[in-house]
Structure 1
């Protein structure tokens, strides 16, 4: 039986692909399959992937027209036969024992999500992202890493949920993460491997690193999550979602992306849209119980809020 199916979307990453695939074919865990999804690459990526398919019996290569990261992940899912599913980006690489450690935490399939710690590899520095455990699903929503590539997911569970990554949108991992959590019963369904497993490579020319790419997708993603929770009558996480969404909008989106826009008109439009979105969907966010907890992140968020209106009028 295949223990883990690892889905690897590939698009024009010839410079990084060998390192990524070497880290996967050299895993210490046996009975894994590696599903390479060539998403219409125009460089040498397809040839590199073909070489691995020819040399490793557990490597499958499938090709499709370019549709983006979410579309490639969804496409790869139909070929997966493993007990667990993993998604690895083709410019990242993993430690050789990562999947063995994660699978050993599955408790014979009782865990629905197992996640690993990771290292952010920026062009000028590395930053560890380390968690030892989560004490509740509420804490997981507030502090959990909203990425798909540091986790393995119970396939039979995913099959019953029958939802996919949103195609054509950035921030797709946030959509996937919050919908996953909505379908968990308790924190015991999650395990954490406290070792560094993934090397998450931040390229200055990648889509996720580019500050001027489809910033407005975040509004679509959050609306989709909110609607999913409404339809499925999940009402117990309102404070957690309010805190997480406003923190991301005022922190990551506003400071790291909007304010670095060179187009003054676009910058002003985005500032106005962020303010309007928060005022409409989370009018009482400043009284959020998580915001009132003392932490560096919350002090930062309050500072950002205090200058938001000044920024709006400045630009």
Structure 2
């Protein structure tokens, strides 16, 4: 089996509880010619010290310190420092499953060294997938192709040449959806992608993730995401205007549901109403709420969230979503991808 050189990029910020176990799961199986690149994004706890301890003495491990700029900024630094044939991303609170390195080489061999390889528990592998079909699956519009963690950066292998050719980078002004945009940009410039059935990644499910935590930046970030998505798809001959509109509309409906869940995470009812006013006072959101078409691909919660928000019932919706959170377990869970 051919060995392919690999750069594993780990962005790090205030993750002192998990970073050593994360890095240990990686360095145990790095092959000759591989490299581990850890980018500390201005951590204020002991994350940097724990990371350096975990990789101490390893010539194929690089530790980079930078001022805080967000996970996208850290990943971009990692890409710039990469020198291997393929790159992959691992979040600092997650793990790689024992045997991951041999599975990576197997996946690359079976994919005929595709530009982008999706790895997950799919039950079946697919080579030479339709680029537009995979992009639809990342967005959520392809019911025939369900990509586990398809919109995330991790559990994927990116050929560095396919990333640097169009100079694809993570959008540092977007806090939700930046991974999906990066994947789509690489795909639009790829000659071939592949889906491989293997489990290499353990994702730590935490209620403090960006999806579950309110951020006042979300609304502006989401508009930037929708605009960037439209720009990327419009530049490709694979998508006509009707298809692009469907992708943007679906993404907007999904984002309304995410925002309602973020509001529900707030313990202060007054802040829920303040977050509600932020959306309704935004003229761009008012226009989107009145103009988009709801796709049948949207699930029931997304459709309910959209229609209630359109009828100016977002605060009531957030309070309704808040009720089950009181009884929901806060224990961390693992998901194997």
For the aligned pair, the TM-score class normalised by the smaller chain equals 0.7 to 0.9
Q: 5+ residue gaps in structure 1?
A: 119-129
| Residue 251 of structure 1, CA deviation | 2.9
| 2:99 equivalent to 1:76 | no
Shift of residue 271, structure 1, vs aligned partner: 5.1
Shifted more, 26-35 versus 170-179: the winner is 26-35
- Provide the residue aligned with 1:121 in structure 2: none
Residue of structure 2 aligned with 1:114, choices 117, 128, 131: 117
CA-CA distance at 1:204 after TM superposition: 3.5
What is the CA-CA distance between 1:278 and the residue it aligns to? Answer: 2.8
1:89–1:149 Cα contact (<8 Å) kept: yes
Q: CA deviation at 1:51?
A: 2.1
Q: Structure 1 residues 193, 160: closer, same or farther in 2, change over 3 A?
A: same
Distance 1:131 1:242 in 2: 30
Q: Secondary structure at the match of 1:199?
A: strand
Corresponding residue of 1:224: 228
- For 1:299 and 1:204, how far apart are their aligned partners in 2? 22
Instruction: Describe the SS at the equivalent of 1:257.
Output: helix
Match of 1:278 in 2: 288
State the TM-score, normalizing by the size of structure 1: 0.79
Alpha-carbon distance in 1 for matches of 2:113, 2:287? 39
Q: Select 1:267's aligned residue among 276, 282, 287.
A: 276
* Residues 1:196 and 2:199 aligned together: yes
Paired with 1:314 and 1:2, the residues of 2 have a C-alpha distance of 52
Task: Report what 1:308 is aligned to.
Answer: 309
Q: Which moved more, 1:98-107 or 1:153-162?
A: 98-107
Contact 1:11-1:40 within 8 A present in 2 as well: yes
Q: Do the aligned partners of residues 131 and 168 (structure 1) sit closer, same or farther apart at CA in structure 2, a change above 3 Å counting?
A: farther
Counterpart of 1:59? 61
Could you tell me how far apart the structure 1 residues matched to 2:227 and 2:30 are? Answer: 41
Distance 1:15-1:198 versus aligned 2 partners, 3 A rule: same
Q: Flag the 1:246–1:221 CA change in 2: closer, same or farther, 3 A.
A: closer
Note if 1:155 corresponds to 2:163. no
Structure 2 residue runs of 5 or longer lacking an equivalent are 139-149, 317-337
Question: Partners of 1:310 and 1:284 in 2: how far apart?
Answer: 14
Number of aligned positions between the proteins:
291
Q: CA deviation at 1:240?
A: 5.3
Structure 2 residue aligned with 1:92: 94
Partner of 2:248: 242
What secondary structure, in the 3-state scheme, does the structure 1 residue paired with 2:201 have?
A: strand
Do the aligned partners of residues 314 and 179 (structure 1) sit closer, same or farther apart at CA in structure 2, a change above 3 Å counting?
Answer: same
Question: In the alignment, which residue of structure 1 is the partner of 2:131?
Answer: 137
Question: Of residues 174, 178, 186 in structure 1, which corresponds to 2:180?
Answer: 174
SS at match of 1:89: coil
More deviation, 147-156/46-55: 46-55
TM-aligned CA deviation for residue 38 of structure 1: 1.5
Aligned-residue RMSD, C-alpha: 3.0
Normalising by the residue count of structure 2, what TM-score does the alignment of the two structures yield?
Answer: 0.75
CA distance change for structure 1 residues 233 and 248 in 2, over 3 Å: closer, same or farther?
A: same
Q: 1:182 to 1:239 in 2, by over 3 A?
A: farther
